[in-house]
Structure 1
């Protein structure tokens, strides 16, 4: 009896010898080790859960600070204010001289600007880019015609076409010259030519008193059907111009239009 440990099952058998082992005390003592271990485990689990809840509640009111990650590929956008260029002022129309010229020579159309005996400002600089995406055509500056006659005004018989520098009021296209250049650039079908970056076509035409275009000619044709295409585009124009004016009366006006065709 002295050698029996209270932690062994033999101790229970000695104590409950001859007694009803189905009684609750025997079962409690028999399951005591397992019950004690389970109680310790659940107690530790409860205490750990309570401590975790307290720790989380202490951080719940604080906002999370997210530090930005440095990126070497950041794109920095800088706003730049563009200054609109000032439009050049049109020069006043030259006053008609009192004396008539001794010889009434008809004006000669020059496809490219030439020097006059008395240079005068061009009232219609015509610097506009009519090239639209996909067309590759750009009318170049200098749409007015430069005549090689003296700067004095010839007698207007009403039938001859006058250069723009002799007019009191220049012809105007509905919507402005930029709209006319845009029409030419949009409708000009460029040919497919290899090893050629650009070509230049120069056409001339007469703006009649009623605003229609007549006498359309090609002054410079690089070939490949570009001259015919320029004539086709101008003939297909349905809108009429406002004619040029001299002394308040409409007159026939001679115009020259250089067209640069970009092949790229």
Structure 2
């Protein structure tokens, strides 16, 4: 192609120079822009037409008067007269009461306060009962005839020796294992020292950390009179190595302050709680 024609020619003319332009590829590329423009305009026109039709339909519906359906309501006659209700049934008769046998009367002898008077001034009903009468009857404020009190047995009279015997003191066994004492065994230095000891020496098991386990393990052990620790046992079993670590921390620790009972150091069974908590 001549150089002057190249400057004025289209890119497609240069690309298809010397080729068969009637094959179709040249024509498709040549009319690509016009075809895309026509398709866009057709879609735009279709969209506008559909939108306009919808608007027109809505406006036509809004202009139509609304139809209101009215139905006749028929009211039924309600009988306002109160119907005679049958009387309630009579209550059931009370159960027959059992006849309670009256307890037998006991013979009572009237007791009067002794007074020093003349014999002719003593009234018959104010005379004190005899010893036989007292043994066979009860003492009261009136005289009453009835059954003789044959079941009453006078307590035997024991002759005293005249000497007072002091109670025998029970000797306390201070070599046994106490579970209740006046002063409990404790970690040397008290609660604050126990907390510092746990913070520095307690290892949180990796298995429990990975599982996110937090628990309280109670450990039971014996503190002897010198404060030595023995028989360490975990009472709680949360698993994941927590009870083993709780037992280890008790065994590793120093000697405890022994318990005291009546001012003496004694062997004491102690239970200590150890808390494992995820931060």
Query: What range describes the TM-score normalised by the shorter chain of this pair?
Result: 0.3 to 0.5
- Select the structure that is richer in helix: 2
Task: Return the TM-score normalized by structure 1.
Answer: 0.37
Q: Higher relative CO (CA 8 A, sep ≥ 6), structure 1 or 2?
A: 1
Give me the TM-score of the superposition, normalised by structure 2.
Answer: 0.35
Point out the structure with max Rg over C-alpha.
Answer: 2
